[in-house]
Amino acid sequence: MEGSDKMERTSKVMSVKEAISRYMGDSCDSLAIGGMHMHNNPMALIREVIRQHKKIKRLITSPSGSINAEILVGSGHVEEVLTSYIGLEHLGLAPKYRSAVEKKQIKLLECDEPHIVYGLQAGAGGLPFIPYPKGMDATDLPKVNPELYRFTTNPYTGEQVMTAAPIKPSVALIHCQEADPFGNAIFLGSEFTDRQMILASDVVILQVEKIVPNLAEKYGAARVNVPGFLVSAVVEAPFGCHPTSSHGYYTYDESHLKGYLKACKTAESYSEYFNQFVTGIAEEDYAQQVGKEQLEKLRKGGAA
């Protein structure tokens, strides 16, 4: 008799360096980055993408991108961006994104929030498009962006209806709080649109705070709503969302984000920031570079 209950499954756990070099080509057609505002941004993976000089043809954000998109645009590796918002919420505009658009250094595919949500849903399910609710064409977006906002006839009413095209990222970089070695993972706080990105993307690279071998046992399978078969690689990166938050684990680092904004002011200070926190160090040394004491101050009461 072949087989046994001792057959070993293959672990998907690897280093951040290996995950990025193995699953992202030197040029990535479309890269989706998870997280919303200053929360759950997969910064460890993003910093590694910059270190490995990956070219990104199209960057796709959640409905509200933050430092995740800002720093990728700032690195100069992004050709075009599909987004409905990139900014630092109450801390202000995203300087590098703003100037790259104003100086036309990147192409902007500007859309609204439902375009991303509907698009990912369509991409995940093989739907040809998703029609918008009536009345959503009243903004100026369809006028400046006819490629992105196409119209068809509603076969039930004969009326014109605006549509969102499927979004099918080649790679998604996502942060979950915990995963098992096989890529089954859990969001301990808000999911934002990260799960839709996972469902719609060809390749998913996960970074997690902690690898938990008995994850489904710990939380119950119904709460583990990222199935491993959609995940290619799992990277354990404690404090890997810094300077953004990881829901349930730690809050965002406002002083670091403000420091980043300050560093944007001159080319010298910006390259100094990159040297200090991105290109000049290995990701494994990031936490030490920020400082253990500083990170501990951000930790939430109930975190593991």
Partner 1 sequence: MSEKAYSISELMACVMARHLKDGEVAVMGAVSMVPMAACRMAQLTHAPNLYYITGGSGAVNPQLDPLVFSSCDDDLLRADSALALPDVILLEGHGKRFDVFFGGGLQIDKYGNCNLICIGDYEKPALKGPGTVGLPFLPLAGRVVIYTTSHNARTLIEKVDFNSGPGFLDGPESWAKKGFPGSGPSLVVTPLCAMDFDEETKVMRLKSVHPGVTVEQVVENTGFQLVIPDNVPTTPEPTETELKFLRKVDPKGIVKNLL
Please list, in sequence order, all residues whose beta carbon lies within 8 angstroms of the beta carbon of residue 287, skipping any fewer than 6 positions away: 238, 239, 242, 295
Name the residue nearer to partner 1 (CB basis): 228 or 248: 248
Task: Write down the least CB distance from residue 149 to partner 1, Å.
Answer: 11
Name the residue nearer to partner 1 (CB basis): 86 or 230: 86
Task: Write down the least CB distance from residue 160 to partner 1, Å.
Answer: 13
Contact 198, 166 (CB under 8 A): no
Name the residue nearer to partner 1 (CB basis): 132 or 239: 132
Tell me if residue 117 falls in helix, strand or coil. helix
Task: Write down the least CB distance from residue 98 to partner 1, Å.
Answer: 5
CA angle centred on 185, ends 184 and 189, rounded to 5°: 165
Q: Burial letters for 140-152: b for 16+ Cβ neighbours within 10 Å, e otherwise?
A: ebbeeeeebbeee
- Among candidate residues 39, 41, 36, 44, the one with its CA nearest the CA of residue 19: 44
Interface residues toward partner 1, by CB under 8 A: 36-39, 62-64, 83-87, 89-90, 93-94, 97-98, 101-102, 110, 112-114, 117-118, 121, 132-133, 135-136, 138-141, 144, 189-193, 195-196, 245, 247-248, 251-252, 300
Task: Write down the least CB distance from residue 70 to partner 1, Å.
Answer: 11
Name the residue nearer to partner 1 (CB basis): 84 or 232: 84
At position 49, the amino acid (one-letter code) is: V
Task: Write down the least CB distance from residue 181 to partner 1, Å.
Answer: 26
Contact 4, 223 (CB under 8 A): no
Task: Write down the least CB distance from residue 123 to partner 1, Å.
Answer: 13
Name the residue nearer to partner 1 (CB basis): 23 or 149: 149
Q: Residue 250 CB: number of other CB atoms within 10 A?
A: 21
Token pair 């609710």 is at which residue? Answer: 133
Name the residue nearer to partner 1 (CB basis): 132 or 286: 132
